[in-house]
Structure 1
Amino acid sequence: MSDLFETAKLDENAPRPLADRLRPKRLDEVVGQDHLLGPAGALTRLVQGGSLGSLILWGPPGSGKTTVARLLAHETNLAFAQISAIFSGVADLKKTFEAARARRATGQGTLLFVDEIHRFNRAQQDSFLPVMEDGTITLIGATTENPSFELNAALLSRARVMTFKSLDAAAIEKLLARAEEMEGRKLPLDADAREALIAMADGDGRAALTLSEEIWRAAREGEIFDRAALAEVVQRRAPIYDKAQEGHYNLISALHKCVRGSDPDAALYYFARMLDAGEDPLFLARRIVRMAVEDIGLADPQALVVANAAKDAYDFLGSPEGELALAQALIYVATAPKSNAGYVAYKKARRLAEEKGSLMPPKIILNAPTKMMREEGYGEGYEYDHDAPDAFSGQNYWPESLKRQKLYRPVERGFERELAKRLDYWERLRRERNSK
């Protein structure tokens, strides 16, 4: 029945959201994806070559994935079919594949667009493989999640991933200009409020147009909104961020690398982004402790003390005051001298222990609580370091079958400079005393 309405164009006067009415009718009308759809773009080349192949469109919400899939079907003369992984099951997939086979029998190919394809389980994803391989369908899957994490390797090997970007300010501005042209009126915003609207869209074109509709509905005759009035009218759109999904991991990765790269300003920015999105401050506190251990280590032993103190301060003060303690700890670790020498040494020690197995320590450092153990030579020849010159005996403590290893190599930064001097001093004494 819906096809009949569409054919008769009876649905054109039905109420439709602005984002739907502004949906591009040609690929060159899509904004913000020039790397894919520009004159030298990857998708442009595929369309011009006449062979599309199966694709995975990966990108944030509102970046144009569904629109592009529809337009590709038109450009390639394929029948367009669409399903959503949220609402479809095995029976729906079978029905869709049967319809595609029927079209193929008449010489008509099918472009099957699967929205949220990452929500299909592994078995459901595998069901696409035979119909992709025999050409029954050209699959275009859309996902907001990293395909390498969420999609089967077999499916990925048969499809090319196209990465969509969040729309930048210029692309959002183009959409707003088109909306104003279609509506025949300007958005009732001053320059500052317009800039704020673009920021609120957070790179999502659909969100920008939805917010625009809200503004037009709310504005009285002749009224112009400033930034404060805009925020009051549309409230504030929550950042795109899911604590269990990729946005979470992207931001925490960015935060950690900013600290490792000694950039406190960038670190504070990502820290604020995560708090703004509703991240648990204690998760961030634990990460700051990890930074102190993993990336600073003994170059500044105080970093771990500061990080733990900040965590305790947050526990004591709660939010929002406790978050300042975490911010201060973040600045401390970002500006501290960096060394992963302790981390590297620990990993070497673990690997050595796993490779060499249960080697017996030398008997000189084994206790001898029984007569039999004393008779076996346990503890024999051990030199008590406090009684030795410089409180250092220089004895070998490594298993007899394993020569002395060098695992910890301090860097010439921060407190590890002093540790390097100590280790060099002890190594010199060891050589002197063992040469006698």
Structure 2
Amino acid sequence: MADLFDSPSDTPVPDAPRPLADRLRPQSLGQVIGQEAVLGPDGPLGAMLAAGTLGSLILWGPPGVGKTTIARLLAAETDLHFVQISAIFSGVPELRKVFEAAKLRRRNGQGTLLFVDEIHRFNKAQQDGFLPHMEDGTILLVGATTENPSFELNAALLSRAQVMVLTRLSLADLERLAERAEHELKRQLPLTVQARDALLEMADGDGRALLNLIEQVMAWRVTGAPLDTEALTKRLMRRAAKYDKSGDEHYNLISALHKSVRGSDPDAALYWFARMLEGGEDPRFLARRITRMAVEDIGLADPQAQSVCLEAWQTYERLGSPEGELALAQALVYLALAPKSNAVYVAYKAARQLATKTGSAMPPAHILNAPTKLMEAQGYGAGYQYDHDAEDGFSGQNYFPDGVKRPVLYAPPERGFERELKKRVEYFAKLRSRRQGGPA
């Protein structure tokens, strides 16, 4: 009798239709396309297999890059019984049955490779349930996830498994896959060169999606000249770009946008801005992040930048989409081309650290108000010099707590408006030294 949750037989029912993706499933790890960095002789998984030291794994990568296929082939390479479950459809009772079957199999001399698809969907208690069975060798766990394991998986589970990062397929990888499909189907795609390139781009790095698209194209009755790009796009809907507004892609793309602005590249900034909008991102989130860029990366090098962002945000609120998004795009270009400085940001963080370090140190007595006679008797306000009465409107007194050595927190660079601020900082530093009896 077959074990519970065993994978279906690889032997197809005679004459049963099989999807192209199933027909082209690799029969060895060497046939897997696009993951040479992991599976090659110098790759981490290739080295494990060569040394005969395969351990539990987490396969992290986007859809359609071969996670399930690799898990199946690993079981075949290591002579382990392959069992596949999905975290979407399985709970604790199902896991217990899987573990019991694996224990029985182990007593009979057969190991088990347990492949868990969407493993990040298991909660903490369910993830903890794998640990004892991984440690005593009942199972070799191979988990698959499209989400960042650092955020979605327990530290205890991650410490017992090695993360393998699988990457989206390149256009060259997809072309190899298309050629393999044509060989299997014994005919060429009825597309012009340009239309073929467009088909590969529609797959967006997903091999399974490409094979599904190829299957659709091959089912068309095309007579005469091959289809051009316009004819192809009329018959096929472009696959939506992978974008999860609360997941990795959200953070990856906003990071790319922010760093493009910091790197003074308006074209790249507009590209990532457009990618996020096309993915359905809330323009208000982008307005908020663009304003943060002005404060964090431009600061006083261009004091106008923050106002430009706030005005663009307000314009968006008044116009809405899609017209208001143009105002945000204008602000983005302004930021990318503005002089950059994080001097205030650095100074702010240093001030916070100093405040934490000095604790409850009191301000010096001379800058404390003395609203009562008792406080006056305690020396509050004694010796305070009113700056407007001083020469140059600057007394040069100390405003840090007694015993705290005066630090230099704000160090403006020679960029943008901060060139002028740097002159002012140096001017007051020289005056302060003179007022306090230092060298002129």
Question: Do both share a fold (TM > 0.5)?
Answer: yes
Shift of 1:9: 4.4
CA contact (8 A) 1:5 1:11 kept: no
- Counterpart pick for 1:423 among 414, 422, 425: 425
- Counterpart pick for 1:127 among 118, 124, 129: 129
Instruction: List per-residue Cα deviations over 1:300-340 (Å, max 9, x = no partner).
Output: 11111111121112112222222222122112212222111
Deviating beyond 6 angstroms after TM superposition, the runs of 4 or more aligned structure 1 residues are: 1-8
User: 1:50 and 1:404, CA in 2 relative to 1: closer, same or farther beyond 3 A?
Assistant: closer
- Aligned partners of 1:287 and 1:144: how far apart in 2? 25
User: 1:254 and 1:10, CA in 2 relative to 1: closer, same or farther beyond 3 A?
Assistant: closer
- 1:403 and 2:400 matched: no
CA contact (8 A) 1:188 1:219 kept: no
SS of residue paired to 2:37: helix
SS of residue paired to 2:309: helix
Shift of 1:380: 3.3
User: 1:351 and 1:39, CA in 2 relative to 1: closer, same or farther beyond 3 A?
Assistant: closer
- Aligned partners of 2:10 and 2:396: how far apart in 1? 95
Partner residue in 2 for 1:243: 245
Instruction: List per-residue Cα deviations over 1:162-191 (Å, max 9, x = no partner).
Output: 111100001101111111222222222211
Partner residue in 2 for 1:296: 298
CA contact (8 A) 1:365 1:382 kept: yes
Q: What fraction of aligned residue pairs are identical, expressed as a percent?
A: 65
- Aligned partners of 1:82 and 1:325: how far apart in 2? 50
User: 1:347 and 1:219, CA in 2 relative to 1: closer, same or farther beyond 3 A?
Assistant: farther
Shift of 1:262: 1.9
Instruction: List per-residue Cα deviations over 1:109-167 (Å, max 9, x = no partner).
Output: 11111111111111111111111111111111111111121111111111111111100
Partner residue in 2 for 1:51: 53
Partner residue in 2 for 1:188: 190
TM-score (norm 1): 0.94
Letter of the structure 2 residue corresponding to residue 26 of structure 1: S
Q: Give the gaps of 5 or more residues in structure 2.
A: none
Shift of 1:375: 4.4
- Aligned partners of 1:59 and 1:71: how far apart in 2? 17
User: 1:384 and 1:120, CA in 2 relative to 1: closer, same or farther beyond 3 A?
Assistant: same
- 1:104 and 2:103 matched: no
Shift of 1:355: 2.2
Q: Report which stretch shifted further, 333-342 or 113-122.
A: 333-342
SS of residue paired to 2:404: coil
Q: Report which stretch shifted further, 100-109 or 405-414.
A: 405-414
Shift of 1:209: 0.9
User: 1:10 and 1:434, CA in 2 relative to 1: closer, same or farther beyond 3 A?
Assistant: closer
- Aligned partners of 1:8 and 1:424: how far apart in 2? 77
Partner residue in 2 for 1:27: 29
- Aligned partners of 1:384 and 1:65: how far apart in 2? 72
Q: Report which stretch shifted further, 113-122 or 325-334.
A: 325-334
User: 1:204 and 1:317, CA in 2 relative to 1: closer, same or farther beyond 3 A?
Assistant: same
Partner residue in 2 for 1:329: 331
Partner residue in 2 for 1:388: 390
- Aligned partners of 1:298 and 1:212: how far apart in 2? 54
- Aligned partners of 1:379 and 1:157: how far apart in 2? 60
Letter of the structure 2 residue corresponding to residue 339 of structure 1: S
CA contact (8 A) 1:218 1:233 kept: no
TM-score (norm 2): 0.93
Letter of the structure 1 residue corresponding to residue 25 of structure 2: R
Shift of 1:287: 0.8
CA contact (8 A) 2:190 2:222 kept: no
Matched residue count:
436
Partner residue in 2 for 1:208: 210
User: 1:5 and 1:97, CA in 2 relative to 1: closer, same or farther beyond 3 A?
Assistant: closer
Partner residue in 2 for 1:82: 84
Partner residue in 1 for 2:143: 141
User: 1:419 and 1:201, CA in 2 relative to 1: closer, same or farther beyond 3 A?
Assistant: same
Letter of the structure 2 residue corresponding to residue 151 of structure 1: L
Letter of the structure 2 residue corresponding to residue 231 of structure 1: T
- Counterpart pick for 1:13 among 12, 15, 20: 15
SS of residue paired to 1:275: helix
Instruction: List per-residue Cα deviations over 1:347-367 (Å, max 9, x = no partner).
Output: 111122222222222233233
- Aligned partners of 2:45 and 2:361: how far apart in 1? 60
Instruction: List per-residue Cα deviations over 1:249-296 (Å, max 9, x = no partner).
Output: 111111111222222222222111111111111111111111111111
Q: Give the gaps of 5 or more residues in structure 1.
A: none
Shift of 1:225: 2.7
- Counterpart pick for 1:255 among 254, 257, 265: 257
CA contact (8 A) 1:364 1:379 kept: yes
Q: Report which stretch shifted further, 83-92 or 323-332.
A: 323-332
Letter of the structure 2 residue corresponding to residue 424 of structure 1: E
SS of residue paired to 2:177: helix
CA contact (8 A) 2:60 2:144 kept: yes
- Aligned partners of 2:390 and 2:313: how far apart in 1? 42
Q: Report which stretch shifted further, 371-380 or 294-303.
A: 371-380
- Aligned partners of 1:12 and 1:328: how far apart in 2? 62
- Counterpart pick for 1:94 among 52, 76, 96: 96
Shift of 1:34: 1.1
Partner residue in 2 for 1:199: 201
Shift of 1:419: 1.0
- Aligned partners of 1:101 and 1:88: how far apart in 2? 19
CA contact (8 A) 2:7 2:84 kept: no
Shift of 1:5: 12
Partner residue in 2 for 1:226: 228
Q: Report which stretch shifted further, 48-57 or 245-254.
A: 48-57
Partner residue in 1 for 2:277: 275
Shift of 1:95: 0.5
User: 1:39 and 1:349, CA in 2 relative to 1: closer, same or farther beyond 3 A?
Assistant: closer
SS of residue paired to 2:48: helix
